[in-house]
Each structure stands twice: as C-alpha cells, then as structure tokens.
Chains A and B, each alone.
Chain A
Amino acid sequence: MNSTPTPPEEELTELYRLLVTVRQLDIAAVRWQRQGIIPGYAPLLGQEAAQVGSGYAVDTALDFVFPTYREMGVARAMKVDMVQYMATHKATWHGGLYDPAATHLAPIQAVVAGSVLHAVGWAHGQTLSQHERKPGTGSPVALTYFGDGASSQGDVHEAMNFAAVMKAPVIFFVQNNGWAISVPTAAQVAGGTVAARAAGYGMPSLTVDGNDVVAVLAATRQAIEHCRAGHGPMLIEANTYRLGPHSTSDDPGRYRSLADEQVARSLDPVLRCADLLRVEYGTQAAFFEAVQADVEAETERVREGLEALEPRPGADMFKYVFQEKTPALELQEAAWRGESEHV
C-alpha cells in the first residue's frame, strides 16, 4: 500500500475517525445546500486524506495555518468548531465565525492564492522573534494550502521566492486535485507537477499520494521538522482528486466523464484507511459502526447549530472595518439605523 510505517493503532484510529467525520460533514453540507440550509458550499470529497493527514500534523499552539475556501477537513483536524467554520457557507460572515488568533487558522480565503504570501510574512515574523523564545525551542511553522489552479498565480511564485530567500519556516502544501473548476492539471501546470518548481527556488519538496492519510501525515511531519529546525521552506504536493463539483453551483458533467470519476473513486482515501486498520490491527466491524454512529451524531449537531445560527447584527458591517472607526462611517451607520426597520 505504501512504504511509510503504519502509525500506532491509537493514532490510525483517530485519523480514521477524522476521515469519516470530514467525509460525512462534507456530504451533509452538499445536502444542506440542496435543502436550503446553506446557500453554497465547496465540497472536498476525495481530498479527505490530504486535508486530515496534514492538518493533524499541526501543533495548534505553535503553528499557524492559512487555508483557502476548501479546507474544512484541515479545520476539523485542528479541532475548529464546525458551526463557526461553516458559518462562511451559511453566508453569515465571510471569514467564518471562529477566532483565527485563538485557533491558529487564518480566516477562510476566497482569493485564489491570496493567503500564500501571508504565510511567508507570518513565518518570517517567527524568525524575527526567535530571540523571544527559549533557546533550543524550534520555530513555529506556517502551513499554507493552495491548489493546482492557484499555482498559476504570480503570488505563489513571489511567496516561494521570498520564503526561500529569507529561509522562512513555511510549508507550501499543494493539493493537486486534478481540476481547477473545469480545467485539468495538464492544461494548468506546465511540466506536470508543482513540486518540480521547488528546485528552482533551492527548496526541497515531497510528492505524496494525497489519498493515503498515513503518507500525507508522514510527509507533513517531515516538512514541519525541516522548518522547525531552521532549514527554510519546503513544498509538499499531495496528488488527489476532487470527486465532487468545484462548488454547489458547478456541473462537472460539462467537462469530465463519469468513467473518469469512477477510476478516481477506486482510490477512496476513507476506504483505504479502513482497510489498513483491518489488515494491521484486525479492527472489527463494531468499531466502524461505532465511529459511524458518533459521526452521524456530530453531523446532526452541526446541522442544528447551523440552523440555529442567526444573522449577525447589521451594525457588524460598520463595526469591523477599522479598529478606529472614521467619522464618515459613523455617519453612514447612523443613517442606516435611522432608515432601517431591522434595528
């Protein structure tokens, strides 16, 4: 299956639990969109191992993660509250309602490749404040996610070059899911891989089977160790497949065949982890049934939480533009209050 040593049973069990949770939440979110509970969602179906394996490796007290709009699996692995995370998909607040400073997960980012440079800045900041840490303490690490499509953005080049020049502790985690909405990787990534570009920046890279949660976890831990030790940035390209549509507004039938999707389904990351548990640890059906029951209960709690989530007060529009609100904004807020029936 892979050359990576199998993790201890407890850890593999936890990884499996996370994979199933994320799978279930993801499928449920699409259902909730169809039911009108949330207006839109960007499914990650097929990418669970890439997200859980990498997110699980993060030390959330130390490191900082910079997601795109499709990293629910990372967020769940980091123990971010799923109602607060999903609030972005309920159109409650763009960045979600979780506290980025407390969770160490940056706000959900809708600009493709928008936050890759932020990770470099944050990471360089850790180098600059090295003297504030106890001697011998490794550097906190920034982990930034982007896809094969985003790799075409100039900001990704700038970020990799800056990080390599400054030896910033950043992991560039590429989820190559085969599709940038409708455009396949072959029409997107010259040379075929993003990982190959790392050499041009003098930066090591790892290419990993993104559907193998054990391999992704091992690769991410290796990269974290590299960055903590002060060896500069590293790139991981996790090859996976976006089994679902780009978003709930997308129709993959217009650009790929069901046969293609069937091939990809045979690599299902959740089933592979279950197989590994059975083979390595003789895990019994009762365990899998119990996990399924727990996950369904959690999914139900998230649904209830989302349904109970009220719109933010309109005053929030004005409240968070600045730390120091301008007089013009105060006037506009007063006018809005005076002319609104909803306050």
Chain B
Amino acid sequence: MSEQTATAEGTAPVPTEPESHLEHLSMQQALNRALAESLAENSKTLIFGEDVGRLGGVFRITDGLQQRFGADRVFDTPLAESGILGMSVGLAMAGFHPIPEVQFDGFAYPAVNQIICQIGRMNYRSRGTLPMPITLRVPSFGGIRAPEHHGESLESLFAHVPGLKVVSPSDPHQAYHLLKHAAQRPDPVIFMEPKARYWQKGQVDTADGGTLEGARVARSGRHVTLIAWGAMVARCLQVAELAAEDGIDVEVLDLRWLKPIDAAALALSVSKTRRAVVVHEAPRTSGLGAEIAALVTEQCFNVLKAPVERVTGFDVPYPSGDLEDEYVPNIDRILFGIQRVLEHRRG
C-alpha cells in the first residue's frame, strides 16, 4: 500500500469554504468522499468488490480510492458475490471493517446465503464475540433503463432478516453522513444507494449531519404524510409541491432506516396529519409498506381518517426500461394515493 498517501489522508479534508462547510456535490461525489474519509479515519476499513479498484466501480463511487489508499485497502475481487460476502465475514473475524460492494442489487441474490446465514448470524452464533462490522453497499432500485436484475428493491428481503440493518439515503447530504455513520457501526448494515439519484447535486454540510438514527421530516405538512425512502423521497417532494397548488399540505417523511424502522417518527407525523401514504418501488405484496401500515395502524388507529394507502411497484418482475415508468410509482399514482386517503369516508 502507499503509506505516504494514506498518511496524507489522515486528516479530514479541508472544506472549500472553511467558514460554511457547505458543498454542492452529487450523491456519487458525496459517497466517494464518505468512503475516502472512512478509509482515512480507520486503518482497518477495507473496500473491495467487482471493479472497485482500478476502474473505480461501474458507478465510479470508489473512483480514485485505490490510487490514494493503495491496493491493500481498496481491491478488486474475482467476480463472485458469495465469495465477496463470505470473505467479508472472515475479514471481520480478523478485526477488519469491510465495506464490500455488490455491483448491482440483483447480484446480491447469489450472495444471499452468506448475507443471511452468516453475516446476519455470526454475532449471535458467537454470543457477541465475533461482531460483523460490515457495510454492504448495494446500488439499488430502478430508474436507469438497465438490463434485467439491475433494478431490484431488496429492502423487505433484508429487513426481514434478523441481525441485519438496512438504510437508504435520499440525497447527497444524507448519503455522505449515513455512509460514514454506517461504516462506524459494529453491526452489519445493508446500504442501499438509489442509483437513479447518483448524479443529482445537492447541498452537503460536511460538518453537521444532525441525528443519523431514525427517520427525518423532509418536508413539513398538515394534511397527509407521504412515507418514502431512497429515490422516492425526491419524487414525493415533487408531489408535495404540486399538491400545495391545490391547497393540500403534504408532509414527507424520509424513513432512511428500513431496519430498524423509526416507529416513533411514524406515530408523530401521522398523529398530526391523520393520513398516511407509503410509497415504494418494491412489489406490493409483503413489501415494507405492509410493515409500515401495521406500525402506523398500531400506533395511530384512533386518529386515522383513512386506511394507510400504499403506492408501490406491482407484483411483477422489474420490467424492461420501456415499461419502467409504468412500474415505478410516478407523480400521478402518488397523487391518486393522496386523493384516496383525503376522500375516504368511514362507512
């Protein structure tokens, strides 16, 4: 490894405007920054996967990291996802903090045995003596007209597994802070990056990430709560602007953590708005929307004006690019969802 560059990275990067800590970054840049700082701050942090080294990853999230930190810290593996994740277990047992990448969501399926049976259980099996501080980065969800198996939404699969935590950022600021936070956790975290949002820029305050546990209110409103994560948060914010023109005041709750789900934040928001619409790209049946609907109903049954509405993908394999816009919840479908909860009348 290149010792001298690693040492140079030992201090936090100097902000472009020292007095403000505010930067205009794409999510790709924010994630790259978070990974660089994670490598600099912890000598046990490793990044590996398919094409993450010389190429910098197919989405360039690890761009330049191998040059800066050396091929011991950032390296390419053979093309086998079970191998990547199984190897992560052994590296964690040896005291490392792996941040492996699975190149696309659908490529996590060949590694499911290692993720579920090993990463999710080793801390338990070993009675806490072999923690698994693994952050698995997965470019996730649809929206980029990609081939089959490149647009999957795996959150309910992984959220269902004991021993795993699941998080998804919605914008560059969240991405920067949540990834750094996840990489410091002693437990395995599935980090689902909304690949459709990699290139949109946003303001990142590198000095202040605020609280990084639980959900966050992305937009405050009084009439209805939209609950979303990943790429759907930006879409819900668009919907909120449009609804405002009709006098509907929409609150957007960016769930961020899909395991553990911030049940208290759901209760707080829906107790105020008394109406909830969950929006997700994943298929509807047994999707996370069902869990969220149950949590909202358990906590807010007496104040709810309407059943919790779900605007989701359909129970079909993720379609080809031509049909993608028919599948992923769009503005119209979300507006219809809002309309249904607003117009609901108790029988």
Point out residues on A near B: beta carbons under 8 Å: 64, 93-95, 97, 99-102, 106-107, 111, 114-126, 128-129, 142, 154-155, 158-159, 161-162, 165, 316, 319-324, 326-329
Which residues of A lie under 8 Å from residue B114 when comparing CB positions? 114, 117, 155
5 A-B residue pairs with Cβ-Cβ distance under 8 Å, sorted by A, are: A117-B85, A120-B90, A121-B94, A321-B124, A324-B186
Please choose the segment from B76-84, B101-109, B246-254, B306-314 that sits at the chain A interface, where 4 or more of its residues have CB less than 8 A away. Answer: B76-84
Among B12-20, B32-40, B259-267, B326-334, the stretch in contact with A: B259-267
Question: Residue-by-residue, is B180-197 near A (CB-CB < 8 Å gives 1, otherwise 0)?
Answer: 000001110000000000
Q: How far, in Å, is B214 (CB) from chain A's closest CB?
A: 9
* Given A107-B130, A328-B260, 20 new contacts (CB under 8 A): A95-B126, A95-B127, A101-B130, A117-B85, A117-B90, A118-B90, A121-B89, A121-B92, A122-B91, A125-B96, A129-B95, A155-B83, A158-B83, A316-B127, A320-B126, A320-B127, A321-B123, A321-B162, A327-B263, A327-B264
How far is it, in angstroms, between the C-alpha of A129 and the C-alpha of B261 when the chains are bound? 37
Across the interface, which residues of B come within 8 angstroms of A64, CB to CB? 93
Instruction: Please give, as numbers and ranges, the residues of chain A lying within 8 Å of B82 by CB-CB distance.
Output: 117, 154-155, 158
Which residues on the A side are within 8 Å of B78 (C-beta)? Answer: 158, 161-162, 165
Docked Cα-Cα span, A157 to B263, in Å, equals 43
A94 engages B125 (CB within 8 Å)? yes
- Which B residues fall within an 8 A CB radius of A? 46, 72, 77-78, 80, 82-83, 85-96, 113-114, 117-118, 122-131, 162-163, 165, 185-187, 259-261, 263-264
A125 touches B95 (CB 8 A): yes
Q: Is the CB of A161 within 8 A of B91?
A: no
| Cβ-Cβ contact count across A and B, 8 Å cutoff | 137
* Cβ–Cβ contact A114 & B113, under 8 A: yes
Answer whether A93 and B127 are a contact pair too, CB < 8 Å, given A111-B113, A128-B46, A128-B72.
Answer: yes
Known: A120-B87, A125-B90. A328 touches B263 (CB 8 A): yes
Query: Are A326 and B127 neighbours in the complex by a CB distance under 8 Å?
Result: no
Shortest Cβ gap from A96 to chain B (Å) = 9
Chain B residues with CB below 8 A from A327, complex form: 260, 263-264
Contacts of A116 in B (CB 8 A): 86
Cα–Cα distance between A283 and B85 once the two chains are bound (Å): 51
Q: State whether B117 touches A122 (Cβ < 8 A).
A: no
Q: How many angstroms between the C-alpha atoms of A28 and B128 in the bound complex?
A: 31
By the criterion CB–CB under 8 Å, are B90 and A107 in contact?
A: no
Separation of A164 and B208 alpha carbons in the complex (Å): 45
B86 touches A117 (CB 8 A): yes
Residues of A within 8 A of B123 (CB): 320-323
Q: Report the minimal beta-carbon distance from A238 to chain B, rounded to whole angstroms.
A: 23
Chain B residues closer than 8 Å to A319, beta-carbon distance: 128
Query: In whole Å, how far is A232's beta carbon from the nearest beta carbon of chain B?
Result: 15
Q: Is the CB of B90 within 8 A of A161?
A: no
Q: Are A129 and B94 in contact (CB under 8 A)?
A: yes
Give the chain A neighbours of B117 by CB distance below 8 A. 111, 114
Q: Which residues of B contact A93 (CB under 8 A)?
A: 127
Establish whether residues B86 and A155, one from each chain, have CB atoms under 8 Å apart when the complex forms.
yes
CB closest residue in chain B, given A123: B90
Q: Would you call A162 and B77 a contact (CB within 8 A)?
A: yes
On chain A, the residues within 8 Å of B130 by CB distance are: 100-101, 106-107
CB of A116 to closest CB in B, whole Å? 8
Contacts of A102 in B (CB 8 A): 129
The reply to whether A111 and B118 form a contact with Cβ atoms under 8 Å apart is yes
Complex alpha-carbon distance, A142 and B186, angstroms? 24
Q: Which chain B residues border A117 with CB–CB below 8 Å?
A: 82-83, 85-87, 89-90, 114
Q: Is there an interface contact between B118 and A114, defined as CB atoms closer than 8 Å?
A: yes
Complex CA distance for A93 and B127, rounded to whole angstroms = 9
Determine the chain A residues whose CB is within 8 A of the CB of B118 once the complex forms: 111, 114-115, 118
**For B124, what are the chain A residues with a Cβ–Cβ distance below 8 Å?**
94, 320-321
Would you call A100 and B165 a contact (CB within 8 A)? Answer: no
Tell me how far the C-beta of A85 lies from the nearest C-beta in chain B, rounded to whole angstroms: 14
Asked if B259 contacts A326 (CB within 8 A), the reply is yes
A328 CA / B46 CA spacing, docked (Å):
30
Complex Cα distance A100/B165, Å?
24
B260 and chain A: residue at smallest CB distance = A326
In the complex the two chains form, is A124's CB within 8 Å of B260's CB? no
Q: How far is the CB of A260 from chain B (nearest CB, A)?
A: 33
For the complex, what is the distance from the CA of A22 to the CA of B199, rounded to whole Å? 61
A335 to B205, CA, bound (A): 40
Whether A162 contacts B83 in the complex (CB less than 8 A), given A107-B130, A320-B123, A327-B260, comes out as yes
B163 contacts which chain A residues (CB < 8 A)? 321-322
Task: Tell me which of B46, B72, B261 has the highest count of chain A C-beta atoms within 10 A of its own C-beta.
Answer: B72
Cα–Cα, bound, A115→B87 (Å): 9
Q: How far does the alpha carbon of A301 sit from the alpha carbon of B106 in the complex, in Å?
A: 52
CB B48 to nearest CB in A, in angstroms, measures 9
User: How far does the alpha carbon of A137 sit from the alpha carbon of B85 in the complex, in Å?
Assistant: 29
Task: Give the residue name and chain of the B residue nearest to A66 (CB).
Answer: B90
How far, in Å, is B211 (CB) from chain A's closest CB?
14
Residue of B nearest to A144 (CB): B90
- Chain B residues, CB < 8 A from A100: 93, 126, 129-130
Q: How far is the CA of A14 from the CA of B61 in the complex (A)?
A: 55
Closest residue of chain A to B92 (Cβ to Cβ) is A121
Contact (Cβ within 8 A) A326 B83:
no
User: Which chain B residues lie closer than 8 Å to A128 at the CB level?
Assistant: 46, 72, 96
Q: How far is the CA of A237 from the CA of B226 in the complex (A)?
A: 59
